Amino acid sequence: MGSSTKTNWCDPSQWLRWHPKGPVLLAGSNDSTVWLWQRKWIALPQPAKVKIQTAPQCPPVLPCKFSQATLGLFSAESSHRMVSGLFSTTERDANLHPPGKRIVTACGGNTLIYWDPRSPTPLFKLTAQNARFDLSGITALAVNPASTIVVVGGTEGGVRVVNLSKGEVISALGGHAEGESVEAIVFVNIVGAVDGSSASVGSSGAGTVVTGATDGKVCIWDLNTSRLRTTLEHKVSRSTLSL
């Protein structure tokens, strides 16, 4: 487990992620740290006048409070806030690491770190000192279903694809306008859509990723070829008078 001299969590959290399987919560903070919490639900006495109704398929609903024990604390040792973080993915056929066994975090100062939750020492760290990884600050990231690749977006519209086994930048994806921040990244299952199965994207290669930015574009990328498949745009029609 991660270790630290810090005992109180006082900085505001920036984001929260549930572990894909277990009762564990990952919380990113303003002070460039990430906390790993163990969840415990403690039932409280039910208020006498409250009638609890439950559907047949739902577990009983009880008043409860959130209790926690710290499992680990990871620090990027940076003056920047922790902008995002993820557990490795939920797919059952992940062949590199079982689901939730690794953590990826991104710091606003353009630092990407890959962690084993059992150790406070990163497996690897990528910073702006690596010229291929300089995004002028990270804003979004997503891990593919096989947990082999992380896609990272930046404040200036840049997108990088990083191999999680080697800690190396595989490719740079240029589709968003320069100076426009990449706000969201998700992996999408094109293969499952074609054959009607629920086969994972990872089973057929690097997969297909979707990025959205402040330029109003949604870009769909084929990571097997590092090519842009489609660009979708939010457009609203506006009437103007042409003189």
Partner 1 sequence: MLIGLQDAITSLLVHSTKPHLVISSSSDHTLRTWDARAGVLVREHKGHQELINSAALGRNGEIVVSAGDDNVCLVFGTE
The smaller minimum CB distance to partner 1, of residues 27 and 182, is found at 182
CB of 91 to partner 1, least distance (A): 11
| Selection from 125, 123, 124, 121 nearest residue 109 by Cα | 125
CB of 61 to partner 1, least distance (A): 16
Using the contact rule CB under 8 A, the part of the chain among 102-110, 121-129, 154-162, 176-184 near partner 1 is: 176-184
Using the contact rule CB under 8 A, the part of the chain among 21-29, 48-56, 96-104, 184-192 near partner 1 is: 184-192
Residue type at 85 in one-letter notation: G
Does residue 186 belong to the site contacting partner 1 (CB under 8 A)? Answer: yes
Supply angle C-alpha 237, 242, 243, rounded to 5: 165
The DSSP annotation for 130-182 comes to SGGG--SSEEEEEE-TTSSEEEEEETTS-EEEEETTTTEEEEEE--SPTTPPE
By rule CB under 8 A, what string of x and - marks binding of each residue 213-242 to partner 1? xxxxxx-x--------xx-xxxxxxxxx-x
Tell which one of 37, 114, 115, 187 touches partner 1 (CB under 8 A). Answer: 187
Does residue 189 belong to the site contacting partner 1 (CB under 8 A)? Answer: yes
CB of 97 to partner 1, least distance (A): 21
Which positions ≥6 away from 48 have C-beta within 8 Å?
none
Does residue 184 belong to the site contacting partner 1 (CB under 8 A)? Answer: yes
CA distance 33 to 187: 26
CA distance 140 to 135: 11
Supply angle C-alpha 132, 14, 8, rounded to 5: 115
Using the contact rule CB under 8 A, the part of the chain among 33-41, 128-136, 167-175, 186-194 near partner 1 is: 186-194
Does residue 190 belong to the site contacting partner 1 (CB under 8 A)? Answer: yes
Token pair for 196: 């009607």
Three-class secondary structure of residue 228 per DSSP: strand
Does residue 185 belong to the site contacting partner 1 (CB under 8 A)? Answer: yes
Positions in the binding site for partner 1 (CB under 8 A): 180, 183-190, 192-194, 198, 208, 210-218, 220, 229-230, 232-240, 242
